[in-house]
Amino acid sequence: MKQQRILLLIGGGIAAYKCLDLIRRLREEGVSVRAVMTRAATQFITPLSVGALTNEKVFTDLFDLNDEQEIGHIRLSREADLLIVAPATADFLAKMAGGHADDLASTVLMAIDKPVLVAPAMNPRMWLHPATRRNVAQLEADGIRFVGPNTGEMAERNEAGPGRLAEVPEIIAAAKAILAKPATPLRSVRSKAPLAGRHVLVTSGPTHEPIDPVRYIANRSSGKQGHAIAAAAAALGARVTLVTGPVALPDPQGVDVVRVETAAEMLAAVTQGLPADVGVFAAAVADWRPAATPKEKIKKAKDETPAIALVENPDILAAIAKPGARRPSLVIGFAAETRDVVAYAKKKREAKGADWIAANDVSPKSGVFGGDANTVHLVTASGVEDWPKLTKDEVAERLMRRAAEFLKQSAAAAE
Ligand code: PMT
C-alpha cells in the first residue's frame, strides 16, 4: 500500500475512537491518510487528535469556504486511491444508499470515482433491520465493498450480536485487497450480474457443541467449501449472508458474515437472515450435543470415565426447507457420506425437503474435509449429475451459476 492515499471518512459512533489506531496503522504501512469527520464524529473524537495522527488538515464542514477554495470536496475525492468509511452508522448507510449530499462527508462520497470500503458499526437490531438490509444490498449492488461488522458484545449493556466495527487489521487487510487489484469502477454495472438483486444465505464450517467450558464436540469441516460458495454468490452479484461456525478463514469479500458456535446459534442466525432467494447449507452441523453443560471444567477422577449423554440438535436444513412463506425459492443441502454417497443423498433430499443435494464423499481418502478439491454429485428431482473433480471454488461457481439459472427460469415461468 506504500505511497497510496486513503481518504478516511469518520462517522459518528462510539467505535470512532478505533479510527485513531486505524490511522496509525495505515501510516505505518506507508499510506498517507486524509480525514473527513461528520459533525457527529466530532462528538466522539476530536479533529485535533485525528489531525495529529494524519499530519494533515482534518475536514469537517462542507460550508467552510476557505477549504472549498483551497481544495474543495471534488479534489478531496479525486486525490484518494481508496475511501474508507468507518464507523458507518445506520443513518450514514441510509444516506449513502439514497444518494444524499447534505454535508461534507456525504458530498465527498457522491463525488468519488474510486473504490469505497465501508466498515459498519451499530446496534445488532439496527444492522438486522430490514431498512439497513435494503440499504446494504443497494450499496453492494452499487459496487461498494464492506468489511464486517463483527459479532460480539456491544457498548450497550447486555447487548450482543452482529454490529461491532471490524478490527483494525481486518480493515487494513480489506483495504490492501482492494488496492492490490486494478480499481473496480464504482457503480459498475452489477445489475447485469446473474444473481444481482438476489439474497443468498449460506452456512459454512463446523459447529462446536460444548461439553464443559473447555471441551467441545466438533468435526473436520474447514469451511472452505461453504466460504467459496458465499464468495461465488457475491461475485455473481448477490447480497450474501454467510452464517459460519468457527473456522480459520478470512471473510469473503462483500459478504455479511455472522459467526456462531453451536447448532442452536446457527439455526437462530439463519432464521434471522431470512428471507433469502437461495439457501445453501454447506455447514457440517453436529447432529448431537451434550445434554448438559456444566459451568465448571469436568475433573478427572481416578478409575472413573465420565459418560457424555447426547441429545439431538435441530436440523437447520429441514427446518428452513419446510413449506412456508419464508422458505427460500431454492434450498440446496449437502450430504457428507463415507459410503453409498448418492443413495444416501437421494434419501436426504426427500427426508429434509431440499430441492437439491450436493453429495460429496468425505471418507479420509477423498481429502475433501479441509482440502481444496471436491467431487460432487448433484441430486435433484430430475436425477443425478456427476460433476468431475473440481476445485472448491469451481464447485461453488458452478453451483451458484446453476442457482442463478434456476431463479431466472422460475421467474420466467411465473410471468
Ligand atoms: O468445510 P470443508 O472442509 O470445505 O468441507 C466441506 C464439507 C464436506 C463440510 C461440505 O462439502 C459438506 O458436505 N457439508 C455438509 C456436511 C454435513 O453435515 O452433511 P450431512 O450429510 O451430515 O448433513 C446433510 C445436510 O443437512 C447438510 O446440508 C447439513 O448442513 C444439514 N444439517 C445437518 C445436521 C443438522 N443438525 N442441521 C443441518 O442443517
For 47, the grid coordinates are 479533529
Query: Quick one: 128 and 276 in the same domain?
Result: no
| pLDDT for res 220 | 97
Query: Quick one: 142 and 43 in the same domain?
Result: yes
Instruction: Inform me whether the pLDDT recorded for 114 exceeds 70.
Output: yes
Of 255, 283, 256, the residue nearest 267 (C-alpha): 283
Query: Quick one: 85 and 123 in the same domain?
Result: yes
Overall domain count for the chain: 2
CA separation for the pair 143, 239 (Å, rounded) = 11
Give pLDDT tens digits for 130-156: 899 889 888 888 889 999 888 877 776
Does 362 sit in the ligand 1 pocket, CB within 6 Å? yes
Atom of ligand 1 at shortest range from CA of 370: 3
13: Cβ contacts below 8 Å, ≥ 6 apart: 40, 41, 44, 87, 89, 121, 122, 165
From atom 23 of ligand 1, which residue's Cα is the shortest distance away? 335
* Terminal CA-CA length for the chain: 50
Answer yes or no: is 193 within a domain. no
400 in Cβ contact with 232 (< 8 Å):
yes
Task: Work out the angle at residue 93's Cα, subtended by the Cα atoms of residues 43 and 102, and round it to the nearest 5 degrees.
Answer: 65
Q: What is the three-class DSSP state of 116?
A: strand
Query: Quick one: 247 and 124 in the same domain?
Result: no
Answer yes or no: is 166 within a domain. yes
Query: Quick one: 141 and 212 in the same domain?
Result: no
The CA radius of gyration of the chain, in Å to the nearest whole number, is 23
Residues of the chain above pLDDT 90, percent:
72
| pLDDT for res 187 | 45
Q: 266 or 140: whose pLDDT is higher? A: 266
**9-14 mean pLDDT:** 94
Does 145 sit in the ligand 1 pocket, CB within 6 Å? no
Q: Which of 161-165, 170-174, 297-301, 330-334 ranks highest by mean pLDDT?
A: 330-334
Ligand 1 midpoint to CA 184 (Å): 35
CA dihedral sign of residues 214, 218, 222, 228? negative
pLDDT confidence of 397, banded at 50, 70, 90? very high
Answer yes or no: is 190 within a domain. no
**409-415 mean pLDDT:** 84
| pLDDT for res 68 | 62
Ligand 1 midpoint to CA 286 (Å): 9
Cis peptide before 306 (omega within 30 of 0): no
Q: What is the three-class DSSP state of 333?
A: strand
**169-179 mean pLDDT:** 91
Instruction: Inform me whether the pLDDT recorded for 261 exceeds 60.
Output: yes
Phi, psi of 24 (to 5 degrees): -60, -45
CA separation for the pair 393, 406 (Å, rounded) = 20
Query: Quick one: 18 and 72 in the same domain?
Result: yes
Instruction: Inform me whether the pLDDT recorded for 14 exceeds 60.
Output: yes
From atom 31 of ligand 1, which residue's Cα is the shortest distance away? 317
Does 282 sit in the ligand 1 pocket, CB within 6 Å? yes
Instruction: Inform me whether the pLDDT recorded for 309 exceeds 60.
Output: yes
Does 315 sit in the ligand 1 pocket, CB within 6 Å? yes
From atom 33 of ligand 1, which residue's Cα is the shortest distance away? 285
pLDDT confidence of 253, banded at 50, 70, 90? confident
CA separation for the pair 253, 86 (Å, rounded) = 17
Of 52, 56, 42, 61, the residue nearest 7 (C-alpha): 56
Q: Which residues span the domain enclosing 340?
A: 199-414
Of 126-140, 146-160, 176-190, the range with the lowest mean pLDDT is 176-190
**294-315 mean pLDDT:** 94
Could you tell me the CATH number of the domain that includes residue 162?
3.40.50.1950
Query: Quick one: 83 and 204 in the same domain?
Result: no
CA separation for the pair 125, 112 (Å, rounded) = 30
| pLDDT for res 296 | 96
Atom of ligand 1 at shortest range from CA of 344: 21
Ligand 1 midpoint to CA 281 (Å): 7
Query: Quick one: 204 and 84 in the same domain?
Result: no
Mean pLDDT of the chain, nearest integer: 91
Answer yes or no: is 162 within a domain. yes
**174-183 mean pLDDT:** 78
Query: Ligand 1 pocket check: which of 285, 357, 369, 392 to mutate, most ligand atoms within 8 Å of Cβ?
Result: 285
Atom of ligand 1 at shortest range from CA of 205: 1
For 132, the grid coordinates are 439497513
Does 281 sit in the ligand 1 pocket, CB within 6 Å? yes
CA separation for the pair 123, 343 (Å, rounded) = 46
41 in Cβ contact with 61 (< 8 Å):
no
From atom 16 of ligand 1, which residue's Cα is the shortest distance away? 284
Q: Which residues are marked as active site?
A: 219
Of 137, 261, 284, 266, the residue nearest 209 (C-alpha): 261
Does 263 sit in the ligand 1 pocket, CB within 6 Å? yes
Task: Work out the angle at residue 137's Cα, subtended by the Cα atoms of residues 242 and 5, and round it to the nearest 5 degrees.
Answer: 90
| pLDDT for res 130 | 87
Of 121, 151, 180, the domain-final residue: 180
Query: Quick one: 218 and 277 in the same domain?
Result: yes
pLDDT confidence of 188, banded at 50, 70, 90? very low
pLDDT confidence of 343, banded at 50, 70, 90? very high
Of 332, 401, 414, the residue nearest 194 (C-alpha): 401
**157-179 mean pLDDT:** 87
Query: Quick one: 295 and 219 in the same domain?
Result: yes
Of 152, 180, 208, the domain-final residue: 180
Maximum pairwise Cα distance, the chain: 83
Answer yes or no: is 128 within a domain. yes
Task: Look at strands 330-337 and 356-361 and give their pairing.
Answer: parallel
Give pLDDT tens digits for 47-63: 999 999 999 999 987 56
Answer yes or no: is 194 within a domain. no
Does 285 sit in the ligand 1 pocket, CB within 6 Å? yes
Query: Quick one: 113 and 205 in the same domain?
Result: no
Give pLDDT tens digits for 80-112: 999 999 999 999 999 999 999 888 889 888 888
180: Cβ contacts below 8 Å, ≥ 6 apart: none
Query: Quick one: 293 and 400 in the same domain?
Result: yes
Answer yes or no: is 334 within a domain. yes
**203-232 mean pLDDT:** 97
Of 147, 180, 213, the domain-final residue: 180
For 181, the grid coordinates are 487489484
Phi, psi of 155 (to 5 degrees): -65, -35
Could you tell me the CATH number of the domain that includes residue 243?
3.40.50.10300
| pLDDT for res 192 | 64
For 92, the grid coordinates are 450514514
Answer yes or no: is 186 within a domain. no
Does 162 sit in the ligand 1 pocket, CB within 6 Å? no
260 in Cβ contact with 227 (< 8 Å):
no
